[in-house]
Homo-oligomer: A and B are copies of this chain.
């Protein structure tokens, strides 16, 4: 099969590889896959990943173990963490924190920038026929946005800022708006802020942001994809407010911890989320993803696709 391989970190190339053939997993023919900020970080060395990247996908099950044969022919999206099945985290249904886990296209497991990928049936969710591929490929990042709703109790009157006007920021802002009315996007890119406004989200330039808004937000979500996101979020959150960290950024940053203590700020890291809730929100039309699509590319055009993903919104591969 044709696939895109990251090996060594920093170097992408198209390769031919055998179609995966594990006995205990489903084989999925990938139809579309999305480039995520984490993929750009993998290129920079994050997580030391080697192999086929890509963890946002929609595809069709072509083969399955006998016990999972009912999946064959169904159009699916897939949760990306595969736990050991034996540890306390797996037993608690939180395989995303299993210390022996593999993660699709991120850690010890090939991903979706390929014609095929393999996943256990327990990771799969069928896509309703009303969701087209261009929408379904967003289920994984929308689920990650929904994780915030499980972690932070949002009051309807809270002031919420989403820091970062990129792909994930605009999904998060839409998801949080389902639970709270006052959600503002703060970013650095006028063309992305315009997309936010087109989605009905108040949006403000980070550079022009009113100093009076400092220490004004009950909740600040860092979706900047930058290592200094936490420091910027600390400027915006009110005393005893909450910061949600969403950016997985390679490498260290400089920060000054004492304001966390003095203002008794709560910070919570947030990663993967519930696919069921994401599918429900997308099916209900509560989240608009089409305005976020900058380009649909072919795998062979990976160089320009990755270059484009740096400055624009979502770049998808049709595979």
Does A266 count as interface, using CB distance less than 8 angstroms? yes
The distance in angstroms between the C-alpha atoms of A190 and B143, with both chains bound, is 48
Q: Judging by beta carbons under 8 Å apart, are B239 and A260 in contact?
A: no
Q: Judging by beta carbons under 8 Å apart, are A263 and B258 in contact?
A: no
Partner-contacting stretch, out of A128-136, A158-166, A195-203, A248-256: A248-256
The distance in angstroms between the C-alpha atoms of A245 and B252, with both chains bound, is 19
Q: Judging by beta carbons under 8 Å apart, are A215 and B99 in contact?
A: yes
Chain B residues contacting A265 (CB-CB under 8 Å) are 268-269
Return the contact of A263 from the options B97, B259, B260, B261 (Cβ within 8 A). Answer: B97
Number of this chain's copies in the complex:
2
The minimal Cβ–Cβ distance linking A105 to chain B, given in whole angstroms, is: 15
Nearest CB to that of A238 among chain B residues? B97
The minimal Cβ–Cβ distance linking A252 to chain B, given in whole angstroms, is: 5
Does A125 count as interface, using CB distance less than 8 angstroms? no
User: With A97-B240, A239-B89, A240-B94 known to touch, is A257 a contact of B249 (CB < 8 Å)?
Assistant: yes
User: With A215-B99, A239-B89, A240-B97 known to touch, is A264 a contact of B269 (CB < 8 Å)?
Assistant: yes
Q: Judging by beta carbons under 8 Å apart, are A262 and B248 in contact?
A: yes
Which A173-231 residues have a C-beta within 8 angstroms of B? 215, 227, 229-230
Nearest CB to that of A89 among chain B residues? B239
Chain B residues contacting A253 (CB-CB under 8 Å) are 254-257
User: With A257-B230, A258-B249 known to touch, is A267 a contact of B264 (CB < 8 Å)?
Assistant: no
Interface range, A side: 35 or more
User: With A257-B247, A257-B253 known to touch, is A271 a contact of B264 (CB < 8 Å)?
Assistant: yes
Nearest CB to that of A243 among chain B residues? B267
The minimal Cβ–Cβ distance linking A219 to chain B, given in whole angstroms, is: 14
Return the contact of A261 from the options B240, B246, B254 (Cβ within 8 A). Answer: B246
User: With A97-B240, A252-B256 known to touch, is A270 a contact of B266 (CB < 8 Å)?
Assistant: no
The minimal Cβ–Cβ distance linking A305 to chain B, given in whole angstroms, is: 24
Q: Judging by beta carbons under 8 Å apart, are A260 and B269 in contact?
A: yes
Chain B residues contacting A262 (CB-CB under 8 Å) are 248, 269, 271
User: With A89-B239, A239-B89 known to touch, is A267 a contact of B258 (CB < 8 Å)?
Assistant: no
Does A46 count as interface, using CB distance less than 8 angstroms? yes
The distance in angstroms between the C-alpha atoms of A253 and B252, with both chains bound, is 10
Chain B residues contacting A261 (CB-CB under 8 Å) are 245-248, 269-271
Chain B residues contacting A215 (CB-CB under 8 Å) are 99
Q: Judging by beta carbons under 8 Å apart, are B252 and A255 in contact?
A: yes
A residues near B, CB below 8 A? 46, 89, 94, 97, 99, 151, 215, 227, 229-230, 239-240, 245-271
A sample of 18 cross-chain residue pairs with beta-carbon separation below 8 angstroms, ordered by A number, consists of A94-B240, A97-B239, A97-B264, A151-B264, A227-B257, A229-B257, A230-B257, A245-B260, A245-B261, A248-B258, A250-B258, A252-B254, A252-B255, A253-B254, A253-B255, A259-B269, A264-B269, A264-B271
Given A247-B261, A260-B267, 10 further pairs, Cβ under 8 A:
A97-B240, A248-B262, A250-B258, A251-B256, A252-B256, A253-B256, A261-B271, A262-B271, A264-B270, A267-B267
